[in-house]
Chain A
Amino acid sequence: MSVLHTVNKSPFERNALESCLRLAKAGSSILLFEDGVIAAMQNTKFSERIAQAMHDFSFYVMGPDVKARGLGEDKLINGIQVVDYNGFVDLATEHDAVQSWL
């Protein structure tokens, strides 16, 4: 059973991503969108934690949300895949279930 986890809150503001990383099963996918994209950026307080978690999870980030916030796709942590809304739909259908960490 494969699960797509989605996180839409900033790691600086909520512990949604932290709980996701703690409880998601290795091999799962994690999509960061809306304010959740902040966790995908290099050189933040959380970058190291994410880079480490990439051994266990496949990370995706919503490109349109990165662009909206002026964060720059060139400043994303290496190895995080950028998707758009169609990519979100594909991810949702490719996995058996979606868990939203609100």
Chain B
Amino acid sequence: MENGEGVVKRFCYINRKAPYGTIYALESLEVVLIAAAFDQDISLVFVDDGVYQLTKGQDTESIGMKNFSKTYTALGDYDIKKVYVEKESLEERGLTADDLQALKYEDEDDDWAEKDSLFLVGRSELTEIINEQDVILSF
């Protein structure tokens, strides 16, 4: 696939760690934004403890670390429209979609209508999504 300026590859970022306890979640976000700047076809996947990265109401004031959870809600502005969360990972942790931030993007082909970019997917569906990628990066 070409976008007029070069090759577009399907990039998939797999996030499996809770935020703040390790640096993985923040580093993943940094790298995602780099690929977005090069207009690549990006999918974000959150499985295992990675689902904790997307919880709403994060408040890091008393641990003295930067709260980067707001960055996820800005991903739509970087044309990142495919964020996949594994259902089974949520269930094992007693979480539901209501515990997560809403992630949206504005669809330029549909009069900039606001649409969901977060999708809950089952294990087998996720297997297929990952299998279709050109580049897979793990965090």
Contacts and interface: CB of A to CB of B under 8 A. Distances in A.
A38 B22 CA distance: 14
A61 to B, nearest CB: 13
Contacts of A9: 21
Contacts of A38: 18, 49, 52, 93
Chain A residues touching B, majority SS: loop
B57 A64 contact: no
Contacts of A47: 94
Contact of A70 (B17, B48, B58): B58
A73 B6 CA distance: 49
A12 B49 contact: yes
A68 B63 contact: yes
Nearest to A47: B94
What size tier do the contact residues of chain B reach? 20 to 34
B62 interface: yes
Given A10-B49, A12-B93, A34-B21, A65 B63 contact: yes
Contact of A35 (B22, B56, B60): B22
Contact of A69 (B55, B61, B92): B55
Contacts of B62: 63-64, 67-68, 84
A35 B21 CA distance: 5
Contacts of B69: 70
B48 A68 contact: no
Nearest to A34: B21
A41 interface: yes
A41 B17 contact: no
B134 interface: no
B119 interface: no
